[in-house]
Amino acid sequence: MCGQIVPGILGYHQGTLKKMKRIVLTGFRGTGKTEIGKILSSRLNVPFFDTDDLVETSTGRSIPDIFHYNGEERFRSIEREVVATLPPADGVVSTGGGVVTDPTNMEHLRRDSTLVLLYADIDTIEKRLLQKPRPPLTNLPLSEEIAAMLDSRRQNYYASADFCLDTSETSPVVAAERVQALLKNGVSSLQQRKTALAFFKTGRIPPVPLKKLEEILVGDTRSPTTRIMGVAGYPCAHSLSPKLFNALIKQYHLDYHYTWFEDPELEEIMNVARAVDAKGLSVTIPFKQDVLAYLDEIDEHSAEQIGAVNTVVFSCGTAIGYNTDWLGIRKPLVSMKGAKAVLLGAGGVAAAAAYALTDLAMDVTILNRTPENAHALAERFACRWGNWEDFDRIKPDLVVNATPLGMQPDTRTPLREDQLHKDMTVFDLVYTPPVTPLIEAARAKGCTTITGSEMFIEQAREQFYLNFGIDVPIKKMRELLA
Ligand code: NAP
C-alpha cells in the first residue's frame, strides 16, 4: 500500500477520480504531527509540507534563532506567510503548534482541506519534548508550560479539528493508519446515520435541503469527511442560521453542511448530534438553559454569569458550551460605555443583555411584565429593577428590547410613541421582521436604532469562529445574510 493512492480513501469515492483533499495536521508540539504526516504522505504518495521546516528554509535560519533574535511575533509573521503560500491540494501539511491561534492561518488551512487534530496527555508530550528540545514558550518549567499553553490554546485546537486522534499510546505508523481509517470511514456507523435521517425526516426541513442531507448521510456519493452541524431548537424552522452558515461554509470552502435539529426533546437532539458526529450546534429557544446538563465543559461567561449556552462545539469526544449572545449585544454598544440603560424583559436573552450592559459599566434598570423575574435577574447582575410603568421616570439613553413583542406575526411595540425621544438609542433584539414596529417608531422619532440582525450577525460570527477558527469580516457577514 505504501506509496499508492488507494481508491476510496480521502476523496476517491466509488472509483471516481476526484482530486484528493489536502490533509492538515494540527496540535501541540510533541503530538507527532511531523512523523505521522511524513508517513501519511508516503502512504498516499502526495507531497509533505511542514510549516516549521518551511519557515527555516525560507529564512535560512533556525526557529530557535528567530525566536532568540527577533522574538515570537516575527516568527508568527513568517509562519503566516508560509501558510498563505502552501499549495492548495494534494498534500499532507504538518503545522506548528501555535498556527491555529491565527484566524488568517485558519482561513488558509481550512480551504478545501480536512483538518485532523492530534493530541496527547501532558506526560507523553513532556517525554517527547525532552528527547528533542525546542525553544521554550514561557519561563515556566516544561510540564507547567505544556499545561498552561494547552489551556490557553484549547479553544483554538478544538476549532482546528474536523477529526481528532489521541497519539499518547500509539506509534506514528499506527497513528497514521488511524488517520487514514478516520478519513475513509468517518466516525458514525451506517445504522447511526439511518436513525439520524429518520429523525430529520420528522422535522420541518424543506424538501431540497432534506434531499441534500439524505445524500450526505446515506447517499451513494457520500463523503465520510463531510461533517454536519445545525441549529437546535423547538421550533427553529424559521431560523436564519442555516442560510447564513451554509453561505459561510461555501465562502470558505469547508466540507460541512448546516441543518435544522428541530424537536421538542433536547435529549433526542443531543443523541442525534452525537450519532452523526456533529461538529457543533447553535442552541435556541427553549433549550439554552437545559443544554447545560449535556455539556462536558462550559466557558466562564456562559456558566458562571449568564447561566445559558447558545453554542455547542463537539471536539475530541467533548461537548463544550459557549454563550455568544452577550457578545452580539455588547459589540454594537461599545461606544455607549457608562450609559443609563433600560432593559425590557427578564428571560434568557435578557440575561445575556444584562451581562453585556453591566460589562460596559452601564447603569441598568430591568423592567419586566412579571416584576419578580426582573428582580431576580437584577440581583444576579447588581442592577435596578421595576415594572413597565417605571419607564417614564428613568429617562434612559439606551433601551434594549429583550421581549418577543414585535416578533412576526406580532405587530405590537413594547413602548408607546411618546416614550421615545431623539436622544435615545433603541436596540430591538427581535430580528424577524428585520425592521420591527419598535425600530420603525424609533426611527420616526429620530432615535439612533440598532436592529436585532446586528446582534444575530455578531453572535453568529463568534459561533463561526468557535467552530472553525476563522474571523469573518462583519461586512461579509452582512452581505451573506442579505
Ligand atoms: P424568554 O426567555 O421566553 O423571555 C421572554 C421575556 O419577554 C420574558 O421576560 C417575558 O416576561 C417577556 N414577555 C413575553 N411576552 C411578553 C408580552 N406579551 N409582554 C411583555 N413581556 C413579555 O425569551 P428569550 O429567549 O429571552 O427571547 C426574547 C426575544 O429575543 C425573542 O423573542 C427573540 O425575538 C429575541 N432574540 C434575538 C436574538 C438575536 O440574535 N437577535 C437571539 C435570541 C433571541 P415574563 O417574565 O413576564 O414571562
Is any ligand 1 atom within 6 A of the Cβ of residue 308? no
Is any ligand 1 atom within 6 A of the Cβ of residue 351? no
Residue type, 189: S
Centroid of ligand 1 to alpha carbon of 404 (angstroms): 4
pLDDT digits (tens, 9 = 90+) for 44-67: 999 999 999 999 999 999 999 999
Per-residue pLDDT, averaged over 19-38, amounts to 93
Pairwise pLDDT comparison (184 vs 15), residue with the higher score: 184
Per-residue pLDDT, averaged over 169-180, amounts to 98
Average pLDDT along the chain: 94
pLDDT at 13 over 90: no
The pLDDT confidence band at residue 238, using thresholds 50, 70 and 90, is confident
Per-residue pLDDT, averaged over 460-468, amounts to 98
Per-residue pLDDT, averaged over 226-243, amounts to 95
61 exposed, middle or buried (CB, 10 Å; 0-12, 13-18, 19+)? middle
pLDDT digits (tens, 9 = 90+) for 326-364: 999 999 999 999 999 999 999 989 999 999 999 999 999
Is any ligand 1 atom within 6 A of the Cβ of residue 383? no
The pLDDT confidence band at residue 17, using thresholds 50, 70 and 90, is very low
Largest CA distance in the chain: 79
pLDDT at 189 over 90: yes
Give the per-residue pLDDT at 7. 32
Give the per-residue pLDDT at 145. 96
Pairwise pLDDT comparison (18 vs 400), residue with the higher score: 400
pLDDT at 133 over 90: no
Is any ligand 1 atom within 6 A of the Cβ of residue 456? yes
pLDDT at 35 over 90: yes
**Residue of 241, 342, 429 best suited for mutating to test ligand 1, as the one with most atoms within 8 Å of CB:** 429
Q: What is the pTM (predicted TM-score) of this model?
A: 0.92
Taking the CA of residue 284 as reference, the ligand 1 atom at the shortest distance is 43
Give the per-residue pLDDT at 19. 56
